[in-house]
Amino acid sequence: MESNYAIVKDELVEKCILGNRLSQHNFYNKYSAFLFGVSLRYAKNRTDAEDILQEGFIKIFKYLKDFRSDGSIEGWMRRIIVTTSYNFYKRKNLINKNIEPEHINISLPGDHEIVSNMSHEELLTIIQRLPNGYRTVFNMNTFEGYSHKEIGNRMNISVNTSKSQLSRAKTSLQKTILSLFQSEENKINLATCPC
């Protein structure tokens, strides 16, 4: 027996497919915050994230008729936003696909308390400062769960390049977070120093 939620959801999708503006508005209101969060992780800044979200919704409405209920609509839309963000920067020629692959063995900081004490905005800002290729691979692997082979296929890079960019992204994030932590620790030490 189908739940009322599934029936309403299907009715909303059907009305969107038929071009009903009110339903499209309701659909946008229902999913835009979630998808904006996804686009923020891939974007270099808030303005780019807004552009990616807008482009993504244009594609979502265009291809909504092709959505098969094999998986969740949220997952389907998230893939569209990820692809849109990649293409957004690819068009701007900002993704460096020619990074030499190298095998780096990284250990993440043992003190995970540093990261847990950071706000969501602080972490998002640090991720947004990564170079585009690093940020895209990091997000696709860490948040979306893509394998290096899937990332390579989507970004037209080798598996080793994907691994290298993820490794470099993690190293960069580690250095930035530890640097911020040490800076805060130094401020505390100066404030409490009986000099």
**This prediction's pTM:** 0.58
67 and 101 housed in the same domain: no
Helix axis angle for 46-63 and 21-42, nearest 10°, is 140
* pLDDT for the residue 142: 83
pLDDT in tens, 99-150: 333 333 334 344 445 555 567 777 788 888 899 889 999 988 888 888 999 9
89/2 same-domain check: yes
Check pLDDT > 90 for residue 27. yes
- 32 pLDDT above the threshold of 60: yes
Given a contact cutoff of 8 angstroms between Cβ atoms, the answer to whether 177 and 118 are in contact is yes
Same structural domain, 23 and 77: yes
**What range defines the domain where residue 136 resides?**
96-195
What 3 state SS string does 4-33 have? Answer: HHHHHHHHHHHHHHCCCHHHHHHHHHHHHH
Give 152-164 pLDDT, tens digit per residue: 998 899 999 999 9
Range in 46-50, 169-173, 180-184 with the lowest mean pLDDT? 180-184
Lowest mean pLDDT among 55-69, 91-105, 128-142, 169-183: 91-105
Q: Which amino acid is at 32?
A: S
Mean pLDDT across 93-103: 42
Question: Are residue 129 and residue 153 in the same domain, yes or no?
Answer: yes
Give yes or no: residues 78 and 105 share one domain: no
* Tokens of residue 8, six digits: 């309403």
| pLDDT band for position 179 (cuts 50, 70, 90) | confident
Number of domains in the chain: 2
Boundary of a domain, candidates 60, 77, 94:
94
The stretch 66-86 carries a mean pLDDT of: 87
Indicate if 127 and 176 belong to the same structural domain.
yes
CATH code for the domain of 114: 1.10.10.10
Q: In this structure, are 1 and 30 located in the same domain?
A: yes
Asked whether the beta carbons of 139 and 42 are under 8 A apart, the reply is yes
Domain with residue 52: its CATH number is 1.10.1740.10
Last residue of a domain, which of 72, 94, 116? Answer: 94
Residues 149 and 69 in one domain: no
Domain finish residue from 94, 125, 157: 94
Rounded-to-integer distance, Cα 173 and Cα 133, Å: 14
In degrees rounded to 5, what are phi and psi of residue 115? -70, -40
